[in-house]
Structure formats: structure tokens, C-alpha cells
Structure 1
Amino acid sequence: MRIKEILNQRFSAAMQAAGVPSECSPILALSGKPQFGDYQANGAMAAAKRLKMNPRDLAEKIIQLADLDGIADRLEIAGPGFINIHLCDAFLTASLGTNTLYTQSESDLDGTQKRVVVDYSSPNLAKEMHVGHLRSTIIGDAVARVLEYQGHTVLRQNHMGDWGTQFGMLIAELEQQLSEGEQAELALGDLELFYQQSKKHFDADLEFADTARAYVVKLQSGDAHCRGLWQKFIQVSVAHNLEIYAQLNVGLTAEHIMPESAYNDDLQNVLDDLLAKDLALESDGAKVVFLDELADKNGNPSPMIVQKSGGGFLYATSDLAAMRYRVGQLQADRILYFIDARQSLHMKQVFAAARKADYVSDAVSLEHHPFGTMMGKDGRPFKTRSGGTVKLADLLVEAVERAEQLLRSKNTDLGEDEISNIARSVGIGAIKYADLSKTRTNDYIFDWDAMLSFEGNTAPYLQYAYTRIRSIFRKAGISAESFSAEISITEHQEKALIMKLLQFDNVVDQVAAEGYPHILCNYVYELASAYMTFYEHCPVLKDEVPEELQKSRLQLCKLTSETIAKGLDLLGIEVMEKM
């Protein structure tokens, strides 16, 4: 059990014994300064106000009733009624020694594990993935990893855009190129260029445009010829995306793809159901769901079109069908959508409509986790120098190249294969961490120099911190993996490091609940900083350090390296033994 949970239970029991209503919380928080203890219980003041008591008197009563033998050395009242908690060294070392941080299983959740659908990445297969897909892909994947680590059943869903009017244009272009002897893989080698050629052809050739429009209808009605061409296009596009996922070290594979077309057969069923329930009404030839829950300031309901006047379905319709599938077939308890902040209204509409239609019960949590935009140094959305969209594949290649140049400039004694492998881990890690370490809902500036720096809150700094710790074991001629020793506390820097190590599970819990990976990034950076302070003040391998103390400090080194590695792993970032 986490230390905070233990303290919360003990203080809650003491408060109730003191006559405090059960709904009043101890309000536990980490102390900002060592002189104020390790934790503070700040709930006495609010409870005293409710009981019309002096808060210091109530705090004193709580202290007398709190059963903290073997947990806290002392409790003291500060200010108007804060309770400072000084934890026992033996309790801290025992908590660290029995920590199940890296062997967490479903049993640790005590029956609270859930089936969680995580909707992320969702590229449009009409074009190559670009930087606009990066945030959804890596933020969603980090949260999925955290949830899996906690023991939940995570159901990744990659809602790829593989349907719609543009595909009529694309398969008409592919048909023409194949008729001229071109191979599908070669014709589609550059998806962006292929799309631009198709669009140019569509705009300039009326006959081609008519064919493209006709192919949309044929495709949607199941025409075998159009479906065959469409499938060739999809196969090449998906292969491109899977290659990007592998480079990014994210968990999405082919089995996680549930494209728009997967719900095509259910769209009419959704519409019929909405009409039967009088939720969808005809308006100017279109079928519209009017949502009073999202009415504007004048009381006008928010309109969500589910079928256009021409008979076509929209994103809202396929999103409702997807939700029916995720709740009905996947049995989701919680559904997380990592989608651009600009889609906030759309998601609110879909959520509201799904609940009104009884596709989703109140027991299922629907969550839109929006994110901001990646910006260039000019403060505008990140573009190429010519103003074009930056392909994600090109960005990753440049990241690895820059990391390799940086490594070579350090005059390392690494071999060529080592440099190549490390450059890949550092370059990809730098891009991911620069994004993940920013508050998800904010825009952020893309800056090569900052993200590849070996100083500050960056992936290279943390990867290097890991390798430095592991080098201590190599220097000592000890295998870190098999090493184990009892920990004792002799210096306050050791205690500070232990306190930071013991916060890992609470940080993971917060990320899982709120979907903000930057909280984990900040924690890993703070842990590395606490370790550096420890290392500067607490010698490990020096001759004057007694053997038992040396072993204790080596155990702290080991646990720190493992926790840094685990934190980065949950973010999808690799560590290496040498750098």
C-alpha cells in the first residue's frame, strides 16, 4: 500500500474518533520543506470550522488519537492547525524494501481493474502521417502503457480515416496509373505526392472528376472493382503507418486498427435507431440531433448532423457507431479519446448523443483528453521552411541524424553500431519527451537544440543519468541486476531520495486518472535531480565508506536507475547501458 494511503487511513480513523464527520478529509500533502516533516495533514482547519472548534485544539486531539506507531517518529502542530508528520526511517526503508513497483499485477488492484478503450493516433490514410499526428500518437500511447502497468485491460483503438469522398478520387487515380503499367507499391511510394497528383487531376479533368465521384458511390455500395483498388491503397498506407509506429516505439499494431469503414454497415442502423427514439429530426433535408444539454447562451440547442441532405453520413455517425461497438462488444468501462482540442465541441456532442440514445450508461466513463498544437519558433504551427506540412517520417530521420552528430561531437569511444543504436534511442526519445513533458492542453514550441540538450528536463539528460548510475556498478565490478542489500539512512539526502522513490506509484495513479504524461516526466526529472544531490553528498565507492554503508548506497543507486528506466519506459522512451 502507498504511504499516502496508509497515512490517510490512520488520520481518517483518528478524525472520526475525534468526532469529525466522515466526509471530512485529512487533506494529506507532501511537505515543501524538510523542517515541516515529510507529510502534512491539513484537514483539521476545515473540520474545526464545521465543528465550531479551535483548529489547534482539534489538531491536538487528532494527534492523540492517531495510531502511527512504527510509522511516524513525531507529529507536531504548526500554524493555525497544520499537522507535520515526521516519518520513521525504519518505516521508509521497509516500505522501499517491500515495494512491488516493478512486479505489479492485477491482484494489486484489489478488483478495481477496468476494461479501458484508448482511442489515439487515428491518421487519415489518404495522406502520409505528419507532425499533426505526433501528439495523439505518443500521448495516447504513454497513458495506455501506464494503464497496462496498473493491471487494467487496455484496448487500443486506432480509428483510421479510410472512408469518405476523397477515396473516390484516390482509387480513380490509382486505377489510371495501374492501367499505365505502374505497380501499386511504386505508385503509392510517396502518399503525399500521390494525393497532390490526384487532387490536381481531379480539379483539371472533368471526366476524371465524374469518375471519382461515381467511384465514391460504388465504393460505398460494395463494388468489387472499387473495393479492390481501395484495398491496395489501404494496404500501402497502413504499412507506412506501422513503420512509423515501430520507429516511435509505440504499442500500436495492425490488430489495433479499427478504421471508419469497420462501422460502415452500422451507420444506417444508428440513424434508424435515433429516428425511432425521436432523437434525430429532419431539418432542411438533413437528419439532425438537437442537443439541449449543449444549448448556447440564448437557449438554442446544439445541432449535430448525422446524415446530410444528400444521404451521406458524417464523422458523428461513425463515432456513435464506434461507441456502440466499444461498449457493446468490447465491454469498455472507460473510453479515452486523445483528439485535438479543436474537436472539443464535436466530442461533447457525440458523448451527449450517445448517452441520450442509451448507447453508453452512466457507469461508463467517456473522456476527451485534448491537446494543443506543436508550434515553430515563429509561434505558428510547425511547418517546413517552404511552408508545407512536415512529414513525420522525415522528422524522425532528422532527429536520429542530429542525435548521431551530437554523439560524435562528444568524442566517445563507442563503436559504429553502438553510435547508430544510441542515436536512434536518443533522437526518437528527445522528440517524444519534448512533447510529453509539456502540459498536454498547451501549445508548445518545437526546438531541436532544447530537446537534444544534455542539460535540464530532457530525454538525453535522463537517459545519460541512467547510464551514469549503471556505470557505478561496472566500476565496482558488480552486476546491478543481481545486487541486493538492506538500506539504512545516515544522511538527509538519502532520506530525500527515498521519499522521492516512494512517490512513484502515486504519480502513476495520477497520470492514469488524469491523462497528463508531463506529471510522470516531471517526476523522473525530479528523481534524477534528487539522485544527483544524493551522489554529491553521499560517497558510494570511496575507500573511506564502510562496506555496509556502501552496499546501502549501491542499493539506492540500483532502485533509482530502475525507477528512471521504468518511468521512461512508461513514456515509451528507451534507456541504454552506455552512452
Structure 2
Amino acid sequence: MSLPFNVASHLDHALRETATKLGLADRGFQPDVRVADPANGDFQANGALAFAKREKQNPRAVAQQIVDELAGLQADFTFELAGPGFINFRIKPAALLAWLQAYGSEQQLQSGAAGAKSGQTWVVDYSSPNTAKQMHVGHLRSAVIGEAICRLLTFSGAKVIRDNHLGDWGTQFGKLIYGYKRWADQNALATDAIEELERIYKLGHGATPDGSPELDEARRELVKLQNGDAENVALWQKFSDVSLAAFQQIYDRLGIKFDHNLGESFYNNQVDRIYRELADTKISEVSEGAQVVFHPEHPRYKTQPFIMRKADGASNYASTDLATALYRVEHFNADGIVVVTDFRQADHFEQLFLTVQKWFAAKQYRLPELHHVTFGAVTGEDGKALKTRDGGVIKLKALLDEAEERAFALVSEKNPDSPESERREIARVVGVSSVQYADLSQNRSSNYVFSWEKMLSLEGNTAPYLLYAVTRVRSIFRKAGLDPAHPPVGDASAPETAQEINLARKLVKFPDAVQLATNTLRPHFLGLYLYELAGDYSTFYAADKVIVDDPAVRARRLLLCHRTLVTLETGLHLLGLRTLERM
């Protein structure tokens, strides 16, 4: 095996060494290796263009200098100079075969990828619902995007800490306790606790309008909670426990398990240090009685204060989020922090991260990478917010239930004679995966239209299409009486037909898709790759019969089938989807 796992990185390294030898590196030459248009090759290096423009040289002449020194790559690549200075690389069939033979399992693929972030610790903060409320469709994107990012980072070698930063503190708990003591239905709490808590909160909120004696009573309940009153603390703990149990039922269906559920309440006793340190370093100031931070160097925040303590002395999201950032560095030794929320919180986190950067620099704390991963809204097909028919919020549990029922109807239509238990299991995977992938296949920055018909379709970039591609490959081994875990591919030869070579080339680019999705924290890049891979496999399968008499041809085509299966399943697992053996 001469090619390493990530071929693009291998080429980048070789080109940098060449640039150093030629004296170009000292003048700022960057290889700029990227996946090429398939018509031009597998990879393309465009660095000569930018370098030559800056140095006022002929870019093609610069590129030719580099090509003349690349003899060491000739064993694995053919390469050519094209256009005004592009260098196109095409992997030779023998090198494709060697790469495919080296990476034959999910574990081997991960071992290849693990060097990218080896030794790093990343904290990913996602989902973050409010306790005592049911999760609704608005919580879906944070949950599935956050989980995919966790899996991508883990696959790339990082230690990942999943943190569910719950909304479990604040004025709403005074109203909830007020309502609980008056209207709690113990039978309803035993049957569906989270729904009963929502009902109680609505009653409590409605009974405590601004300026009313009832609101004063609710505030007294909150003060008692904040001061450690045993009864109210016990109620608050009960609210938290039943909420987490309800949330976990949803998380189980989505394949999510958190390492920590450190909500806002966890940081309440840590905010005084934040106030003191930001004041001592003169990063914060007092404005109209509140402790705030200004960022005059930033065009949007010159006059917009970041309020970290209110004028009445109360803490807020800024207080606890600053404490959270410090805790993650001091207790988790985070090298990177990712916070996944919708786009409406962009200003808050931009000001938060600016404040953290100044504060950590002043105190000489180690500064991790800080990433706010935002996402757009989910809309109905009318372009408006997704709602129930009566205008209410769609509960996430109900959405997943409907997905499974719709999938069950489709599975039953296509396989009416299969046992119901088998159809239910297929529907469970297809239904939930369809909801997850409809989200993950989109650029997270964009809004996307929620369409049952589209997401459950067997055509297009959908979960059913990709899951079916997996089962199609598995069916080849099943019909041939072969174990897909141990395919007889030891005598495989290098790919020969155009379809074989095209599929092998696509498989070798899996590391690039993973790297791009991980580095940009955008899982849709991996989804797009998997969709294209499934299409290339379909073209190969239609053109080249797999189970043929010639043992050499059969072995190499089985190798391609097996590596496609491994890559599709690995990629889908990275996105948080479960896969099936039959559909």
C-alpha cells in the first residue's frame, strides 16, 4: 500500500515538499489541492495561479517547475498540466486497488481518519430543551445536527463530550411551582408527566398576569427555590427528573446519548467569579446600573451592550454562558467548543465569544476554538412555520410517530406478505431516518421545507434511497450465499472497466467528504457524497455483472460491492442513521 488514507493530504504534503525544494514555499506558495471535476482527474492543485499572480510570474511556468519535480508520485498517479497552471492528478488502477484492500471495514476507515483530531477534546453543546416542556419540531435540527457533528469529530480522532445545556432555571419555575401546588393532577403526572407539567405551567402563567398579587406569589415561590427551600427544591428536582426521562425517550429514537446534562442551574453559583474577573480586567463596565461589555471595535456592537448582569443584580443567559465557557476549559480541558442553536441566537454568541476571547487573554486562560453552529428554520410547504392544523406547535414525539406510521404504510404496500413485526422494524428505521436525513442533507444555514412525500421517497437524495442502496448491495452477497462481513476478495485485481474505475475513484474520496464535513461542521457535505456514491454504484451495477464465472472479475467486483457497502454504512452511521439488511 503506497497511498495513505487521505489522498488529497498526501498530495498536499508532496507538493509542499516540492515547493520547499524549489524555493517557492518561503515566498508563500500554497498547493491548494482539491477534489477535481471527474472529467479532469481525481484531484487538482491550483496553487500556482495565486502564487504566480502575486509574484507577477507566468502561472503555467510555475506549475511546470513543480510537475518536473514530481517523479516520486508517478508510481501511483498520472498527472498533467492543464489550462493556465492547473495540475491534474489521476490515481492509477493499481493504486486504487491497494487503497481499497487497505480499508475494508468501518474500523479501518476510522483508523485512517483518526489522525486529524487525535489528542483533542471537543465539547459539543446541542439540543438544550427547556425542562418541564415537551420537545417540539424546533428542537429537531439542533439534536440531529449536533449528534452528526459529535460523530464526525469522534471519527476524526477527537475525544467528544456531549453536553445538553438544559434550560432548567429562571422565572418560569416560580409560575410552575405556583401552578403545581394548586392544580397538579397526580394521576396525570403518573401517566404522562411532561404533558401534565406543560398544562400546569400554562395555568400558572395565565393566573399570574403582570402587576397581579398572584404574580407576586409566584415570584416568592421562585425566591424560595433560589434560597434553597427544601420543598421547592424537591419539586424543581422532580420537574428535572421527569423532563430528562421524557427527553431520553426521544433521544433513544434518534440514537443520542449525552455525557452531561449541565443546565443553567448548574452554573448559578459560578457567576460571581465571572462578574468579578470581568470587572477586575476592565473588560466590563457599569451602564445604567447593569454590568455590561461593549465591543467598540466591532461595527455592529459599538453601542450595543452585552448585558452580563441586569440592573437588579439578576443573572441572565450571558452570565451562565460565560461561566459555561470557563467550566468547559477548566474541567473538560476543551480544545474546541461547538454550540448548536438556531440562527436567531447569532448575535448573542458572537458577543459571547468576543467577550470570552478578551477575558481569557486578560487572565491568560487557554482559549479553545469557539464555534457557533447555526441553522435555519423548518417550514411547511407553504413557506410558513411548521404547525399543527389548529396552529399549535408540533410535538417531536408526534412527528416521529407519524414518520413511522407513514413508513409502515409504504413498507406494507410494497411487502404485504412480510410479518408485521418485520415491517414495523423496517418502518421504525426508515421513518426516523427519513426525518433525520431530510434535515442533515440540507445546508444547515438554510431554511428547508418539510415534505413527507419528498423525505419518504425512494428517489433523490433521501434516507430511503440510501438505505435501499445498502440493502441492494447486501442482497448480492445474500443471493450468492456469501457472508458480506468476510467477502472472498483476496484475489481481486485492479479495476478495469470505466464503471469499475469510476466507482473505485469515488470510494477513495470518502476521506475528503468526511474531512470537509468535519472541518466546516456541515454534515450535508457527507450526505451529498453518499448520494453520489450510491448513484455511481447504481451505474456500475447496471453495467457490470458481479457474479460471473471468471474468478478474477468476480473478486474485483465483489470487492467494489463490499467497499461500497462499508462506506455507505459508515457514512450513514456518522450522520446518526441506522441501517438495514433488508427493505
TM-score class normalised by the smaller sequence: over 0.9
Report whether the alignment pairs 1:225 with 2:227: no
* Equivalent residue for 1:126, pick from 103, 124, 132: 132
Contact 2:169–2:264 (Cα < 8 Å) also in 1:
yes
Q: What does 1:424-503 align with in structure 2 at a 5 Å threshold?
A: 424-485=428-489, 486-503=492-509
Q: CA shift at 1:113, angstroms?
A: 2.7
The worse-fitting range, judged by mean Cα deviation, of 476-485 and 158-167 is 476-485
Shift of 1:236: 1.1
3-state DSSP of counterpart to 1:278: coil
SS at match of 1:506: helix
Q: Of 138, 157, 164, which residue of structure 2 is paired with 1:158?
A: 164
1:32 to 32, 37, 48: 37
Runs of 5+ unmatched residues, structure 2: none
Deviations 1:308-365 (A, max 9, x none): 2222111000001111100111110100010111111100111111222227856411
CA distance in 2, matches of 1:41, 1:354: 38
- Tell me what 2:356 maps to: 354
Quote the Cα distance in structure 2 between the aligned partners of 1:462 and 1:576. 10
Query: Once the 2 structures are TM-superposed, how far is the Cα of residue 271 of structure 1 from its aligned partner?
Result: 1.6
Q: Is 1:534 aligned to residue 540 of structure 2? A: yes
Contact kept in structure 1, 2:113 and 2:155, CA below 8 Å: no
Residue type of the alignment partner of 2:285:
L
CA distance in 2, matches of 1:150, 1:202: 51
For 2:574 and 2:582, locate their aligned partners in 1 and report how far apart those are by CA, in whole Å.
Answer: 21
Q: How does 1:355-370 map to 2 (within 5 A)?
A: 355-358=357-360, 361=365, 363-370=367-374
Matched position secondary structure for 1:435: helix
Decide whether the 8 Å contact of 1:72 with 1:85 is kept in 2: no
Q: Which amino acid aligns with 1:24?
A: F
The one-letter amino acid paired with 1:176 is R
- Cα deviation code 1:166-217 (max 9, x no counterpart): 1011012112235x76574357351433332222233499454332110111
| 2:327 equivalent among 306, 316, 325 | 325
Aligned 8 A contact 2:114 2:155 in 1: no
Partner SS, residue 383 of structure 2:
coil
Larger mean CA deviation between 201-210 and 561-570 belongs to 201-210
Of 169, 182, 187, 1:176 maps to 182
Cα 1:96/1:107, change in 2 over 3 Å = closer
Deviations 1:95-124 (A, max 9, x none): 221137622349942884311010100001
Q: Which residue of 2 aligns with 1:513?
A: 519
CA distance in 2, matches of 1:72, 1:181: 71
| Structure 1 unmatched ranges of 5 or more | none
1:409 is aligned to 2:413 = yes
- State the 4+ residue runs in structure 1 displaced beyond 4 angstroms: 105-108, 180-184, 204-207, 359-363
In structure 2, distance between residues paired with 1:300 and 1:50: 35
RMSD of aligned residue pairs (Cα, Å): 2.2
* Closer/same/farther in 2, CA of residues 413 and 469 from structure 1, 3 Å limit: farther
Write the distance in 1 (CA, Å) between the matches of 2:345 and 2:364: 20
Give, in whole Å, the separation in 2 of the partners of 1:86 and 1:356: 47
Counterpart CA distance in 1 for 2:192 and 2:325 is 36
Q: Which moved more, 1:351-360 or 1:89-98?
A: 351-360
What is aligned with 2:103?
Answer: 99
Q: Normalising by the residue count of structure 2, what TM-score does the alignment of the two structures yield? A: 0.93
Worse-superposed segment, 20-29 or 423-432: 20-29
Q: TM-score if structure 1 supplies the norm length?
A: 0.93
Q: 2:552: which partner in 1?
A: 548
Q: 1:96-154 deviations in whole A, cap 9, x for unaligned?
A: 21137622349942884311010100001131111111111110110001111122110
Query: How far, CA to CA, are the matches of 1:116 and 1:208 in structure 2?
Result: 45
* Correspondent of 1:274 among 263, 274, 278: 278
In structure 1, distance between residues paired with 2:501 and 2:192: 62
1:327-406 map, 5 Å: 327-358=329-360, 361=365, 363-406=367-410
Query: 1:448 Cα shift?
Result: 0.5
Contact 1:174 1:187 in 2 (8 A): no
Structure 1's 182 and 409: CA in aligned 2 closer, same or farther, altered over 3 A? closer
Q: Specify the SS of the correspondent of 1:301.
A: coil
Does the aligned pair in 2 maintain the 1:138–1:436 contact within 8 Å?
yes
Cα separation, 1, equivalents of 2:307 and 2:49: 52
| Alignment partners' CA distance in 1, 2:421 and 2:187 | 37
What SS does structure 2 have at the residue aligned with 1:339? Answer: strand
Q: Which moved more, 1:562-571 or 1:184-193?
A: 184-193
Residue equivalent to 2:190: 185
SS at match of 2:87: strand
Gap change, CA 1:166 and 1:112, over 3 Å in 2: same
Residue number in structure 2 paired with 1:304: 306
**1:6 partnered with 2:19:** no
Structure 1 residues 567, 224: closer, same or farther in 2, change over 3 A?
Answer: same
Query: For residue 78 of structure 2, what is the aligned residue in structure 1?
Result: 74
Q: Is residue 118–residue 144 contact of structure 1 (8 Å, CA) maintained in 2?
A: yes
On the 8 A contact 1:430/1:460 being kept in 2, the answer is yes
Aligned to 2:88: 84
| 8 A Cα contact 1:488 1:549, kept in partner | no
Take 1:249 and 1:360, find their aligned partners in 2: how far apart are those partners?
39
Aligned partners of 2:407 and 2:431 also within 8 Å: yes
Identity fraction in percent: 40
Shift in alpha-carbon separation, 1:488–1:155, aligned structure 2, 3 A: same
Q: For 2:113 and 2:533, how far apart are their aligned partners in 1?
A: 27
Letter in 2 for 1:311: G
Provide the residue aligned with 2:569 in structure 1.
565
Q: In 2, are the aligned partners of 1:295 and 1:302 still within 8 Å (CA)? A: no
Q: Determine helix, strand or coil for the equivalent of 2:122.
A: strand
Give the Cα–Cα distance (whole angstroms) in 2 for the partners of residues 215 and 106 of structure 1: 56
Alignment-derived partner of residue 524 in structure 1: 530
Of 189, 198, 201, which aligns to 1:195? 201
1:287, 1:52 → 2: CA distance? 53
What SS does the aligned partner of 1:287 have? strand
Does the 8 A contact of 1:125 with 1:238 survive in 2? Answer: yes
Q: 1:181 to 1:368 in 2, by over 3 A?
A: closer
Amino acid of the structure 2 residue aligned with 1:452? L
Shift of 1:43: 2.3
| 2:301 is the alignment partner of 1:291 | no
